[in-house]
Structure 1
Amino acid sequence: MRIASLQSQHGPFLGVRRGDGYVDANAALPDLPRDLGAVLRAGLLERLTDVEGPLVRDVTYRPLVSDPGKILCLGVNYIDHAKEASLQKPDYPVVFGRFTTSFVGHEVPLVRPRLSTHFDYEAELLVVIGRRGRAIPRERALEHVAGYALLNDGTIRDYQKRTSQWTVGKNFDRTGAMGPDLVTPDELPPGARGLRIRGRLNGETMQEANTTDMVFDVVSAIALLSEAMTLDPGDVIAMGTPGGVGFVREPPVFLKPGDVFEVEVDGVGTLRNSIIDEA
Structure 2
Amino acid sequence: MRLATLRVRGETRAARLDGDEYVLLANPDVGALLATGPQWRQDAAQQAGERLPVIDAVYAPVVPHPNKIICLGLNYATHIAEMGRDTPQYPTLFAKYDASLIGAYDSITMPTVSDKVDWEAELAFVVGRPARHVPKAEALGYVAGYTVANDVTIRDYQRRTREFLSGKTFEATTPVGPVLVTADEFGDAEPDLEIRCEVDGEVMQRSRTSDLLFGIADIVSYISDIITLLPGDLVLTGTPGGVGDGRDPKVYLKHGQTLRTVIEGLGETSNVCLPEKTV
The TM-score range, normalised by the shorter chain, is over 0.9
**Which TM-score applies when normalising by structure 1?**
0.94
Taking the aligned partners of 1:49 and 1:16, their CA distance within structure 2 comes to: 7
Of residues 196-205 and 8-17 in structure 1, the stretch that sits farther from structure 2 once superposed is: 8-17
CA contact 1:142–1:190 (8 Å) conserved in 2: yes
Counterpart in the other structure of 1:17: 17
Counterpart in the other structure of 1:146: 144
CA contact 2:205–2:243 (8 Å) conserved in 1: yes
> CA 1:252–1:78 in structure 2 vs 1: closer, same or farther (change >3 Å)?
same
Q: CA deviation at 1:189?
A: 5.0
Which letter does structure 1 place at the counterpart of 2:28?
Answer: R
Q: CA deviation at 1:118?
A: 0.4
Taking the aligned partners of 1:124 and 1:245, their CA distance within structure 2 comes to: 12
Taking the aligned partners of 1:192 and 1:198, their CA distance within structure 2 comes to: 18
Counterpart in the other structure of 2:70: 72
Structure 2 matches for 1:81-160, cutoff 5 A?
A: 81-160=79-158
Over the matched positions of the two proteins, sequence identity in percent amounts to 39
Structure 2 matches for 1:212-227, cutoff 5 A?
A: 212-227=210-225
Counterpart in the other structure of 2:251: 253
Counterpart in the other structure of 2:235: 237
Q: Which runs of 5+ in 1 are unaligned?
A: 27-32
Which letter does structure 2 place at the counterpart of 1:91?
Answer: Q
- Post-superposition Cα deviations, 1:114-155, rounded to whole Å, max 9, x if no partner, equal 101101010000010001121101111011010000111000
CA contact 2:127–2:232 (8 Å) conserved in 1: yes
1:49 aligns with 2:45: yes
Which letter does structure 1 place at the counterpart of 2:46?
Answer: D
**SS at 1:228 equivalent:** coil
CA contact 1:149–1:180 (8 Å) conserved in 2: yes
Taking the aligned partners of 1:19 and 1:182, their CA distance within structure 2 comes to: 15
Counterpart in the other structure of 1:29: none
CA contact 1:191–1:218 (8 Å) conserved in 2: no
CA contact 1:191–1:217 (8 Å) conserved in 2: no
- Post-superposition Cα deviations, 1:244-269, rounded to whole Å, max 9, x if no partner, equal 00111122221112111111111111
CA contact 2:140–2:190 (8 Å) conserved in 1: no
Q: CA deviation at 1:10?
A: 5.4
Taking the aligned partners of 1:20 and 1:273, their CA distance within structure 2 comes to: 23
Taking the aligned partners of 2:112 and 2:7, their CA distance within structure 1 comes to: 28
**SS at 1:72 equivalent:** strand
Q: Which runs of 5+ in 2 are unaligned?
A: none
Counterpart in the other structure of 1:36: 30
**Which TM-score applies when normalising by structure 2?**
0.94
CA contact 1:187–1:267 (8 Å) conserved in 2: no
Taking the aligned partners of 1:250 and 1:175, their CA distance within structure 2 comes to: 24
Taking the aligned partners of 1:7 and 1:24, their CA distance within structure 2 comes to: 11
Of residues 50-59 and 76-85 in structure 1, the stretch that sits farther from structure 2 once superposed is: 50-59
CA contact 1:191–1:219 (8 Å) conserved in 2: no
> CA 1:139–1:107 in structure 2 vs 1: closer, same or farther (change >3 Å)?
same
> CA 1:179–1:78 in structure 2 vs 1: closer, same or farther (change >3 Å)?
same
Taking the aligned partners of 2:158 and 2:187, their CA distance within structure 1 comes to: 34
Counterpart in the other structure of 2:2: 2
Taking the aligned partners of 1:88 and 1:17, their CA distance within structure 2 comes to: 42
Aligned residues: 273
